[in-house]
Amino acid sequence: MDLQSDITLPALKFLSSETEHICRLCFSSTQDQEVSLEDSMRLQRSFLDETVTYADMFTDLSVPSESSLPQVLCINCATMTINSYLFKKLCHYSNQQWHSTLCRLNTSLNLTESLAPNIQTVYLMVNNKEHIMFTSRKHHTHRSKKSALAKIKEVMRVKQPYEKVKRQKSTVMCEECGEKFTSNCHLVKHMKVHSNTRHPCLQCPKIFATQLQLDDHAERVHYPKKLQCPKCSKMFSTEKMLKYHDRLHHVAAICKLCFVQFPSKKDLRAHLDKHDVNKCPRCDKSFLNKHTFKFHLKICGNIEERQPSFFCDICNKGYARKNGLRTHLKTDHGFGNVLSCNWCDKKFDAISRLRNHQVKHTKERNFHCDQCGGKFVTQAALIYHVRLHTGERPFPCDLCDESFLSASRRMEHKRRKHFGPTKECHVCHVKFVTGHQLRKHVQRHYNPLSKLFVPEVEEPYLNIDLSSNNMKDQQYPSISKLLSM
């Protein structure tokens, strides 16, 4: 009989119900030994561990399921079915492992692109069953697992305390003012603030609490600056100041929390605040700058602290913070050196504030919206614009159910809807909602072309001569003392 007859004859016998012992795959007789498709097997391999029936294997191998066909297999076909099923599972497992390994390697290689050229990297593969390790160092040779892991453990031990020290609570408190410190060394330095001993500078009105602070001030301000930094144009008076500047501004530093490299320690310090965002427990507002956060804690929910406690001796203008009064004295009354805008002659006491102001004239749009491509002059304008896209209104009014895009919009709403006009003109006693409206109104009293011009009213502070620093120091000794602190 030929092969076709060997297949056709057993098939006809099964269809005519003459016999049921026919192999589903090879048509051979299973009279002596057979395996049912419903029988289950436990398959244990390094890549697989499961219990499965032959019918499930057929389904996974895309063999059609027909209840009218034989439901048994011969021993040879059962063995081939198991091997075919295992082979398919092995291929799937292998593809997954290759994909996972390549993704991890690609991620590691991408991270190395952000590192400086002097940073070294190492790749490790650890075998859990053997006491060896494959490493990328030393020409891809095997290395003792014990020594390699000891080195890794030492590196991690150095990095881990960083976060613990950062979050460590203050344990030492000043008995004079109640301020807390993390060490006795910091407390000793702080106690000098409460000491009555003062060290005045012989070349300027400033006074310092310690001799060390005075010497540092003299080096920074009064010594002749003849040493130029080789990496920038800044000049310094001593090698000490030059080295300190180089370490702070020109030596790359890596964040030990996220391993991102920064061009200088100054940039790293600004970045570190972002890892531990300070959140106010009263209003849930978050701050990246710790000094701003501490000041906010003092005034948040405390109306008395918001009231001005520092007043100008010349115009009686009040400020909540001492720094605000210092800036006012420099920019409005001429105490100390100031920076002027080339376009509008507005004065500033810091170069950063001047630069932020100058973009209003230059209209340099360096901030881009990722959603619509719009360009904006300031970061604050971009944030405000993005909120129009997202619909976010993070500033709710505590007196009604309305929310606003910015704190200034919320305050304007409160003044209009809840508080009413509170800014009073000292000439005609008309009240306004905002200080801007009041200033515009007062200017009309001094303008001869305005209908509100009042001839007998003199513009304040025109008779004060502040042209000489010596005269200012003699006329306002308390102001000179404030600026010297």
- Which parts are annotated binding residues? 23, 26, 74, 77
Tokens 């000094």 label which residue? 291
AA identity, residue 132:
I
Residue 287: in which H helix or E strand, if any? strand 286-287
Q: Which of 206, 91, 56, 252 is nearest to 220 (CA)?
A: 206
CA dist 312 and 478 (Å) reads: 10
Q: Which of 363, 361, 332 is nearest to 348 (CA)?
A: 332
Phi-psi region of 461 (alpha: psi -120 to 50; beta: other; left: phi over 0): left
Q: Which residues are annotated as a binding site for Zn(2+)?
A: 23, 26, 74, 77
CA dist 294 and 321 (Å) reads: 12
DSSP 273: G
Distances (CA, A) of 386 to 193, 363, 391, 423: 46, 19, 8, 33
DSSP 134: E
CA dist 437 and 415 (Å) reads: 13
CA dist 54 and 37 (Å) reads: 5
Tokens of 324: 């605000």
